[in-house]
C-alpha cells in the first residue's frame, strides 16, 4: 500500500524527532500547534476537491483528444496537449492512464511530454488542495505566470530530440 | 517570531543556530507547552479555517460535477467514481498525516534564518540550483512538497527559489519518475522527459525573479504563518 516515498518520509521523521528531543526547549507543543493548524487548512478541502476531481476525470473525453495529437499535429498538437493537461484535475493514476491512452492512439512523444508537463505544473487539484490554502493566491499567480511557457518548451525540446534520434537511426549511426 | 529578525553573530555554529530557531518557533515560555489546546478562540479560528469559504466552494463544485456525471453516465458511474474517491482518500490520509508531522517538526527545528540565506534573495543562480536539487530529491507527494514549500516561504526564501523548488519537484521529482513515469511510459520515454525538463526549474525561477507580479512572503495564508 505504501511506496518508497512513504518510508523515506518515515526515516526523515525519525531523524527529526531525535533532533527535536535534543533541542533545549519543549518544541513538540509548537509542532503540534502547527500540525493542527495545517491539518485544518488541508484536509476538509481535500475531501471535497478529491471528489470533484474524480468526476472531472470521468467527464474528460480522452479518446477524442488523442486523435488530435498524432504525427503531423505539430505545434497545434503541443498546444492541445498543453490545454488538456490543464483539464486533468486528478492525481498521477489518472494522468498517466490518460497518457497511456494517448500513446496507444498514436500521439507523438513530444505531445505526451507536453501533456504530462502541463499536468505536473498546473494540475488544478494540487492548486486548490495545497497551493492556495498553504501559500495563497499571490504566490499561485506568480508561480503560474513563471511556468507558463515551460510545457511548450519541453514539447519543442522533445521534438528536437526525437528528430535527432530519427536522423541517427536513418543514417545508421 | 521576534528572534528571527535579530542579527546573529553565531551564524557559523549550527548547534546554536538551531537553538535560536527553536526559540522562534515557540515564542515564549508559557506558549511553548500545550497551553494553546485550552484556548477557545484558537479552536474557533481552526474551525473557521477548516470550514471556510474554500471548503463550501469545493463542495458546491463537487455537487455540480457529480450532477453532470449523473446526467451523462447515470447513477452507476457516480457510485463507481465515489467508491474510487473514497479509496483514494483512505490511502492518502496516512501520507498527509505523515507529511504534516515532518513539515511541522521541520518548522520548529530548522534554522530558518540560515536556510533563507542559502536560498534567499541574494543567493543568485546558486540558490536556484540548490532549490531545484532540493525539489528533485524531496520524497513524498504534494502534501510533503507543499508543506515544505510553505516552510521555505515563511523563512523568507527568494521567490525565484520557491518557484524553482516546486517546479523541480513537479517535473523532476525522483519519486514520481520511479513510481509513475517508468512503469507507465517506459524507461526511454521518462529519460527523454527528464532530460528536456532538467533546465526548466531554473528557467522558471529566473522568470519568477524578473516578472512584475507582487508577492509578499509576510502575507501568507493564515495556516502557514
Residue A126 has pLDDT above 80, yes or no: yes
Dihedral, A124, A127, A129, A131 alpha carbons, nearest 10: 180
Dihedral, A149, B148, B220, B162 alpha carbons, nearest 10: -30
SS3 A70: strand
Span B120-148, mean pLDDT?
87
What mean pLDDT is reported for chain B?
Answer: 79
SS3 A107: strand
Please answer whether residues B102 and A12 qualify as being in contact, where contact means their C-beta atoms are separated by less than 8 angstroms. yes
Give me B188's grid cell. Answer: 526511454
Distance from CA of B117 to the nearest CA of A (A): 20
Name the A residues in 115-134 with CB < 8 Å from any B CB. 116-117, 120-121, 126, 128-134
| A42/B46 touch (CB, cutoff 8 Å), yes or no | no
Please answer whether residues A109 and B189 qualify as being in contact, where contact means their C-beta atoms are separated by less than 8 angstroms. yes
A153 in reach of chain B (CB within 8 A): yes
User: Could you please report the per-residue DSSP string of chain B?
Assistant: -HHHHS--S-TT-HHHHHHHHHHHHS-SHHHHSSGGGG-HHHHHHHHHHHTSHHHHHHHHHHHHHHHHHHHHH-HHHHHHHHHHHHHHHHHHHHHHHHHHHHHHHHHHHS-HHHHHHHTSGGGHHHHHHHHHHHHHH--S-HHHHHHHHHHHHHTT--HHHHHHHHHHHHHH-HHHIIIIIHHHH-HHHHHHHHHHHTTHHHHHHHHHHHS-----GGG--GGG-
The residue count for chain B: 225
Confidence band, pLDDT 50/70/90 cuts, at residue B18: very low
Nearest CA to A152 out of B191, B197, B207, B209 is that of B197
Residue B204 has pLDDT above 70, yes or no: yes
Confidence band, pLDDT 50/70/90 cuts, at residue B175: confident
Contacts of A136 in chain B (CB under 8 A): 219-221, 224
| B139/A9 touch (CB, cutoff 8 Å), yes or no | yes
For A107, list phi and psi in degrees, rounded to 5. Answer: -70, 150
Q: Which of B30, B156, B184 to probe the A interface (max A CBs under 10 A)? A: B184
SS3 A120: helix
The residues near A29 (Cβ < 8 Å, ≥ 6 apart) are: B26, B31, B32, B33, B34, B35, B36
CB atoms within 10 A of CB B3: 16
- The pLDDT tens digits for B33-67 are 788 888 888 899 889 888 887 788 888 988 999 99
Contacts of B153 in chain A (CB under 8 A): 135, 139
Residue A157 has pLDDT above 80, yes or no: yes
Distance from CA of B85 to the nearest CA of A (A): 6
Contacts of A53 in chain B (CB under 8 A): 85
- The pLDDT tens digits for B96-131 are 888 888 878 877 777 777 777 788 877 889 999 999
Query: Cα–Cα distance between A154 and A77 in angstroms, integer?
Result: 13
At CA B155, angle to CA B153 and CA B159, rounded to 5? 40
At CA B208, angle to CA A146 and CA B189, rounded to 5? 50
Confidence band, pLDDT 50/70/90 cuts, at residue B13: very low
At CA A156, angle to CA A155 and CA A159, rounded to 5? 90
Give me B75's grid cell. Answer: 447513477
- Count of pairs with CB atoms under 8 A, one residue in A, one in B: 304
Residue A42 has pLDDT above 90, yes or no: no
Query: In terms of pTM, does the model score above 0.80?
Result: no
Contacts of B150 in chain A (CB under 8 A): 38, 134-135
- The pLDDT tens digits for A47-71 are 887 888 788 878 878 778 888 888 8
For A70, list phi and psi in degrees, rounded to 5. Answer: -80, -175
Contacts of B77 in chain A (CB under 8 A): 58
Sign (positive or negative) of CA dihedral A111, A112, A113, A118: positive
Q: Which of A146, A149, A155 to probe the B interface (max B CBs under 10 A)? A: A146
Confidence band, pLDDT 50/70/90 cuts, at residue B29: very low
For B221, list phi and psi in degrees, rounded to 5. Answer: -60, 165
Is the ipTM value over 0.90, yes or no?
no
Amino acid at each position: 500500500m505504501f511506496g518508497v516515498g512513504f518510508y523515506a518520509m518515515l526515516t526523515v521523521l525519525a531523524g527529526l524527532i531525535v533532533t527535536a528531543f535534543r533541542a533545549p526547549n519543549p518544541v513538540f507543543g509548537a509542532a503540534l500547534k502547527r500540525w493542527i493548524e495545517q491539518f485544518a487548512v488541508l484536509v476538509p478541502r481535500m475531501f471535497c476537491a478529491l471528489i470533484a476531481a474524480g468526476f472531472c476525470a470521468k467527464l474528460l473525453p480522452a479518446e477524442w483528444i488523442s486523435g488530435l495529437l498524432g504525427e503531423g499535429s505539430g505545434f497545434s498538437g503541443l498546444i492541445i496537449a498543453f490545454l488538456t493537461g490543464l483539464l486533468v484535475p486528478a492525481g498521477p493514476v489518472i494522468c498517466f492512464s490518460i497518457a497511456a491512452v494517448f500513446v496507444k492512439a498514436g500521439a507523438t512523444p513530444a505531445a505526451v511530454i507536453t501533456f504530462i508537463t502541463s499536468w505536473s505544473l498546473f494540475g488544478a487539484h494540487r492548486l486548490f488542495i495545497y497551493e492556495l490554502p498553504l501559500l495563497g493566491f499571490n504566490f499561485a499567480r506568480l508561480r503560474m505566470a513563471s511556468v507558463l511557457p515551460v510545457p511548450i518548451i519541453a514539447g519543442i525540446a522533445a521534438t528536437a530530440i526525437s528528430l535527432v534520434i530519427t536522423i541517427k537511426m536513418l543514417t545508421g549511426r | 517570531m521576534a528572534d528571527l529578525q535579530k542579527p546573529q553573530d553565531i551564524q557559523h555554529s549550527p548547534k546554536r543556530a538551531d537553538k535560536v530557531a527553536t526559540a522562534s518557533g515557540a515564542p515564549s515560555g508559557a506558549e511553548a507547552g500545550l497551553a494553546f489546546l485550552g484556548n477557545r478562540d484558537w479552536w474557533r479560528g481552526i474551525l473557521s479555517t477548516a470550514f471556510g469559504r474554500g471548503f463550501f466552494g469545493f463542495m458546491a463544485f463537487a455537487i455540480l460535477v457529480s450532477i453532470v456525471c449523473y446526467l451523462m453516465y447515470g447513477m452507476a458511474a457516480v457510485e463507481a467514481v465515489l467508491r474510487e474517491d473514497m479509496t483514494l482518500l483512505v490511502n492518502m490520509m496516512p501520507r498527509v498525516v505523515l507529511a504534516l508531522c515532518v513539515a511541522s517538526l521541520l518548522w520548529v527545528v530548522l534554522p530558518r534564518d540560515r536556510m533563507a540565506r542559502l536560498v534567499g534573495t541574494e543567493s543568485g543562480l546558486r540558490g536556484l540550483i540548490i532549490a531545484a536539487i532540493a525539489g528533485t530529491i524531496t520524497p513524498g507527494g504534494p502534501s510533503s512538497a507543499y508543506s515544505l514549500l510553505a516552510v521555505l516561504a515563511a523563512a523568507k526564501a527568494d521567490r525565484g527559489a520557491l518557484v524553482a523548488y516546486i517546479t523541480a519537484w513537479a517535473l523532476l521529482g525522483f519519486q514520481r519518475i520511479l513510481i509513475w513515469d517508468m512503469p507507465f511510459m517506459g524507461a526511454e520515454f521518462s529519460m527523454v522527459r527528464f532530460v528536456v525538463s532538467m533546465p526548466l526549474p531554473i528557467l522558471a525561477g529566473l522568470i519568477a525573479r524578473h516578472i512584475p507580479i507582487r508577492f509578499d512572503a509576510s502575507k501568507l495564508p493564515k495556516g502557514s504563518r
